[in-house]
Chain A
């Protein structure tokens, strides 16, 4: 404990200390107001089967004291630390160097994960889940992070991809490798379809329309039962095969295990799926990075900065926006197709607004526009969510608290600096301190 140091500081600055105590008291009061109805009063079923109100004043008291102590501790810590130091150029350079070091490390880890000791079915499934969200984050990043178009309905393209794959594969029996590009193209088509009516919208208005679009797709999927199976979804979606060799337990020569002469195991398919999503995610990343250096990608970033200036420079705003929607949607569609083949079953329940919100949160927490930041954010959000599974209903609280913490400590996202997309000679990272906060 740093109580002694804190006491000295407080003695030196009694006014500051009094203000801190007052602030903490107000926090405690707010906590009291919140926790009395949320925690203090609880309806329970008695042994006789009737509802009764259980009072838990002890718990409320503990929480209020915690809030008071936490606030006081935070203020004391801030007081001791003094004024927040702005990120210096040296720190920015260091972060940039760390970034170039972290990315290959994470990639290497991702590649060898299936063969690391201690990696079982559960770890692989979690890895697949995380990578799916990494891919979705990178896809949405094109629309939100680069082009600055706030899209709250990204899950719609995920759904279009998943249903496209499911319907094509179950109706025509086409293989995954034919359906995957088709699902991406269909999703891109829907991206353009969404893009047209919202060409003139920005910011809040765009967000509302995209939110509605996401809901419309979901509601159509529920109600168009003859095509989509309605709320029951689509079952029996073909599982992926290894370029025509099915993953089967029989060990026949025309199965994966038989062809390569290895012991049949259900893990083979999971490992294959893992590498499949890893490759798809890396493809998304590669395309994003390449495009950022092309005129189109620069136009996206310029569009995010200032639409009127873009027009003045002769940039075609319509095409720039539509391609952002289309390419972002295409990767959402790829991820959707992968989701469908992995699950073998899809229903509209998998494509609710909360999915859009999680993907957007990954992009924002990662630091809009930063590829590595998004990967880390997906790992933290999705992986962290799983790690805290034992906490049951407290999990959401930890999750929410972590998000608030990240936004307090790093308001511009985990990786806030960016490399210029366009340069003569050496590229220099631009410090986060110059990046506007919360501006799309």
Chain B
């Protein structure tokens, strides 16, 4: 397992950086917020990103992918973080696309995965129901009905849920069985999608399913057997979010260092004060440690020699460390900027809001600390 990007991945990083700096800088994200459109991202930007191959990165060539592995997503998500760029890459490609790839049959892949990779359609994962992320607490019921199923229940925090063409809905069948995934088209009768405006001004939705009837072909894989695939797809999403938080934090740190060097109080740059110097140095340390954890998380996603437990442990380490670090960096960034730090005019606030959402999404630091502990301490 290597903790460096290879030449191909570095090329991807360069092209993503250039593309996003030109097309989707932070100011563009601010404008999207002010326009208050529920889509949360620029559809043309997404189509152009698809044309660059982003949606094809983790999938095999026979399905229309580039077979670049998940590590190739790392530099892209870092750039996304650095520019605060919104796109459905996480929701439609990393989460939903992975689930279709891992769990879908040929027909489902034909109909949905190809269209996801080509950007013609986009999917969203409807998983969480509680205030905090927890896949094991799925309760939405799927009742066998004729040769299909009837789904009833609510979903919260569906990433890019507004305007998606279809949803992968996690459900339980019967009382004790495991989790199943159903592919529900957006126009299914009984499905209501409501925008859930969050602090990061991106696209989140709340879904209500009232006896939504789906056929047997809507079920991904076998009944009650979605957890292993869900774990893999979620881990991919978690590490990508960790890379995004790393990108955001590095940008914030750069902005904050500049400010420490240029802001003058008491006739000197405030960066001469040892209390601030030491705090800045601590942030640098945290960034370095988090980068190592994120690189290991990315590498683990592609490393077939690792056990499932080891992959999960490294994914949780990445999300934990990046989340914890990002909160430290952004909270310090606000404080060190002083009064201007709490104004909407400064971009730091936009980063603060996005980091809070990314940190809660797919499990916050506490969730992943507990998951890591369970993996380490469970087997005596």
A and B bound?
no
A interface residues, Cβ below 8 angstroms from B? none
